Chains A and B, each alone.
Chain A
């Protein structure tokens, strides 16, 4: 084999390997492991329900930090018990401990879910978001409803919800769910209730 052939074979080998490697950018620690996160999302390990969160707050789960990613004005207007305001644009500067359990919430679920991706990319392991946002909290914790015709099993489960709801000053109801109203109106209605 001549020297030229060796060089050519070497170039071909490196190029063929490049095709398998795909991208010239290595995955560095603290960056997103896309496959891992995609798996977590598919297995629904990325979010918590409002009832779960209410339980964590009530039980004073160690290291729990409830993060409101909405603008400060919205936070000042209304926020979840024990929540702290970290608007999305400043999320990379926030000083969280890696051992903290971070639960993000926003009005809907989208901004909190995006914040989840950002915090995961910064290397925080215990991050969740409130799937349905404030709306879910208002529906399931502050105004939980169970149909009068519900099965006995469901009523048994509802007992825990009622307990949590009353703890946070909610109004559990048996009967029909009232017609849907925008989150902002429901927040106003609740503030008039004095909570």
Chain B
């Protein structure tokens, strides 16, 4: 029960942050595909770097146990296909799952339509899953992490990702500045 309460609180905070970052607007989101507005990239990469540094250092200081954090498993083929479908949906709707909920909550009709479509998609996937169950479970790699993939120490990967993010932010600002 306390887990559900905590999940609700985190969800509210997540939605509030997305709305404050302006990500409830489909125009803003689609802007990144035309390199007009890279807010999505900057918000998401800031979140990744913050969470990564937080998880690393909280674990290092013995405050959290990284072993207790669920790592989603990697299925290369199905996730490539899913990523493509997701990307097309993102451009067409101008919203992703989290931002569509935020858009719907702020009364945007396109947000409500996207949330409805998302649940229909989940329902359809559930109904037709047996037909492509073999593909769904193909190319499994288990809980596959970047330090394993690159054979690098965890801390080195943390630094590399932070450098990519900082470089990306600088580049994004320049691209936006030119327009």
Report the minimum CB–CB distance from A131 to chain B (whole Å). 34
In the bound complex, CA of A167 to CA of B155 (Å): 58
Contact B53 A25 (CB under 8 A): no
Determine whether A24 belongs to the interface, using a CB cutoff of 8 Å to chain B. yes
Whether A19 and B166, one on each chain, are in contact in the complex, defined by CB atoms closer than 8 angstroms, is no
- With the chains together, A11 CA to B166 CA distance in Å? 9
Chain A residue at minimum C-beta to C-beta distance from B58:
A24
Contact of A18 among B61, B66, B159, B165 (CB under 8 A): B159
How far is it, in angstroms, between the C-alpha of A172 and the C-alpha of B66 when the chains are bound? 58
What residues of chain A lie closer than 8 Å to B61, measured between beta carbons?
Answer: 26
Q: Which residue of A lies closest to B153 (CB)?
A: A22
The answer to whether the Cβ of A189 comes within 8 Å of any Cβ in the partner chain is no
| CB <8 Å contact, A12 and B162 | yes
Mark interface residues in A15-27 (1 if CB within 8 Å of B CB, else 0). 1101111111110
Name the B residues within 8 Å of A24 (CB-CB): 55-57, 59-60, 66, 154-155
Contacts of B66 in A (CB 8 A): 24-25
For residue B54, give the distance in angstroms from its CB to the closest CB of chain A. 9
Docked-complex contact A19 and B60, CB < 8 angstroms: no
- Looking at the assembled complex, report how far the CB atom of A102 sits from the nearest CB atom of chain B, in whole angstroms: 29
A192 contacts chain B at the CB level, 8 A cutoff: no
Q: Which of A8, A19, A26, A28 contacts B155 (CB 8 A)?
A: A19
Contact with A along B155-178 (1 / 0, CB 8 A): 110110111011001000000000
Q: Is the CB of B156 within 8 A of A19?
A: yes
In the bound complex, CA of A12 to CA of B115 (Å): 37
**Does B154 lie within 8 Å of A22, measured CB to CB?**
yes
Residue contact B154 to A15, C-beta cutoff 8 Å? no
B158 touches A15 (CB 8 A): yes
User: Is B155 within 8 A of A18, CB to CB?
Assistant: yes
Does chain A have a CB within 8 A of B72?
no
Q: Is A179 an interface residue (CB 8 A)?
A: no
- Which residues on the A side are within 8 Å of B154 (C-beta)? 18, 22-24
Q: How far is the CB of B66 from chain A (nearest CB, A)?
A: 6
Closest to A28 in B: B62
Q: Are B153 and A14 in contact (CB under 8 A)?
A: no
Contact between chains at B155 and A23 (CB < 8 Å): yes
Nearest A residue to B65, CB-CB: A25
B40 within 8 A of partner (CB): no
How far is it, in angstroms, between the C-alpha of A21 and the C-alpha of B153 when the chains are bound? 9
Across the A-B interface, the 6 shortest Cβ-Cβ residue pairs: A15-B162, A19-B159, A18-B158, A24-B59, A18-B155, A22-B155
Task: Name B's A-contacting residues (CB within 8 A).
Answer: 49-50, 53, 55-57, 59-62, 66, 153-156, 158-159, 161-163, 165-166, 169
User: 20 new A-B pairs (CB below 8 Å) besides A14-B162, A19-B158, A24-B60?
Assistant: A8-B166, A11-B49, A11-B50, A11-B165, A12-B162, A14-B53, A14-B56, A15-B53, A18-B57, A18-B154, A18-B159, A22-B154, A22-B156, A23-B60, A23-B153, A23-B155, A24-B59, A24-B154, A25-B60, A26-B60
8 contacts between A and B (CB under 8 A): A8-B169, A11-B165, A14-B53, A15-B159, A18-B60, A23-B154, A24-B60, A26-B59
